[in-house]
Amino acid sequence: MTRAFLLGTAMLMLPVAAPAQSQDGGTYDEGLSYGPRPFFLIGKMADSELKSELMSCMGQEPQRTAFSIGHRGAPLMFPEHTVESNRAAAGQGAGILECDVTFTSDEELVCRHAQNDLHTTTNILLTDLAETCTTPFTPAADGEDATAECRTSELTLEEFRTLEPKMDAANAQATTVEDYVGGTADWRTDLYANDATLMTHAESIALFDQMGADFTPELKAPSVDMPMGEFTQEAYAQKMIDEYKDADIDPSRVWPQSFNLSDIQYWIENEPEFGAQAVYLDDRYEAFDEDEGEIDPMDASTFMPTMAELKEMGVNYIAPPLWMLVTLNENGEMVPSVYAEEAAAADLDIITWTLERSGPLASGGGWYFQSVTDAIDTDGDYFEILDVLAQDVGVVGVFSDWPATVTYYANCKGL
């Protein structure tokens, strides 16, 4: 039995809540569905052993799996961080769901990808609350893009609840507010954006628990200087954990995330049961050295802190973007990167992000596939890179904007 197989199954063996009752008396697990997309992607694959294996699983019954993680729900087609988006993700078999956590002016925790994204994810610019925006809408002119910035930290929770969520998008060439709040990519859809429902963090806990899913909240970096009044970064990190304790959620069901290593260390030291599963979102790809210039995150000599040092700190999970885990060998084949090998050597479990966020892959896949662009030319390659991540890199979970694809793969492979 290979180490890749053992790592690839580690998270699947973690406890997932028992099937919850739906409103019609059945269970959410009974209503799981892959929908058409996995089969569409398989049809795009070149003939291979993997394609044949995936085709052989077309009659299987979907099973919930913790290997499949809903990234903000299922935002390929549903407005992110909404009730509807997460119901879609749970219905596709995602065993873990995400609430990106930020806060309002009255220190209430809500689900938003960023504290300053309301201008692209809600209708705030079309409401009277537009006057609270840090940067008012400025139309495109003289070769300059349209701009705006609106923050949850400028609103009370009561004001936040009046907003209507929409697909995350903005038209940079807009000359009117109405045009600016459009701009949904043509490979997404506004079909499910009507009457979507915003959530607080506490409401997300109740919803995910009801649907039988586990939790991976991400503590988002504030756009305001901290402390905000008496609300410190530590109080913010603690408040997020406290809401799971208040809901009587077992710490083994929670994977708290942060790009801020200090947040991870805080949880390890102050909430060790939660800290044991804290996920360090490694962003060393943004590192820059004044003497050397941009740092190559694939070069082991630039790993600061090193993988071994992270492990010594008590970090057990890291989560880099998927392109950091794979590279191409001399034959143009996708293989584990030095980064992935170093993480495995340090006995760090790896979660990665984000599958199906780049849209159609015919043009190389964009930012998320930058290390293997030359090997990507069809939508079927989503399964090819997923196979390398699971079998060769040994990731224990994959975030996706459409979890059905990852669920299908995990179920077919018997993970």
Residue spans per domain, the chain: 3-99+200-413, 114-198
At 293, the pLDDT band (50, 70, 90 cuts) reads low
Please give the structure tokens belonging to residue 65: 């799996």
Q: How far apart are CA 367 and CA 86, in angstroms?
A: 25
273 SS3 class: helix
Gyration radius (Cα) of the chain, Å:
21
Q: How far apart are CA 340 and CA 348, in angstroms?
A: 10
- Whether the upstream peptide bond of residue 256 has omega within 30° of 0, thus cis, is no
pLDDT score of 17 more than 60: no
How much is the pTM? 0.92
Q: Which of 130, 116, 124, 117 is nearest to 223 (CA)?
A: 116
Q: How far apart are CA 88 and CA 404, in angstroms?
A: 9
Third-level CATH fold of 3-99+200-413: TIM Barrel (3.20.20)
At 304 the pLDDT is 80
Q: Please state, rounded to an integer, the average pLDDT across all residues of the chain.
A: 92
Please give the structure tokens belonging to residue 276: 């044991």
At 28 the pLDDT is 64
Q: What angle, rounded to 10 degrees, do the helices at 233-246 and 261-270 form?
A: 50
At 20 the pLDDT is 52
At 80, the pLDDT band (50, 70, 90 cuts) reads very high
Q: How far apart are CA 256 and CA 233, in angstroms?
A: 15
pLDDT score of 16 more than 60: no
At 290, the pLDDT band (50, 70, 90 cuts) reads low
- Average pLDDT, integer, range 28-36: 86
Strands 349-355 and 288-289: unpaired
Residue that the structure tokens 């143009």 belong to: 332
Q: How far apart are CA 302 and CA 306, in angstroms?
A: 8
Q: What is the pLDDT of residues 110-142, one digit of tens each?
A: 999 999 999 999 999 999 999 999 999 999 999
C-alpha distance from residue 2 to each of 12, 51, 324, 386 (Å): 16, 22, 22, 17
Q: How far apart are CA 74 and CA 88, in angstroms?
A: 6
C-alpha distance from residue 86 to each of 128, 220, 384, 403 (Å): 29, 19, 26, 10
Q: What is the pLDDT of residues 355-381, one digit of tens each?
A: 999 889 988 889 999 999 999 999 999
Please give the structure tokens belonging to residue 264: 């991870």
Please compute, for residue 50, the number of CA atoms within 13 A of its CA located in the half-sphere on the CB side.
20
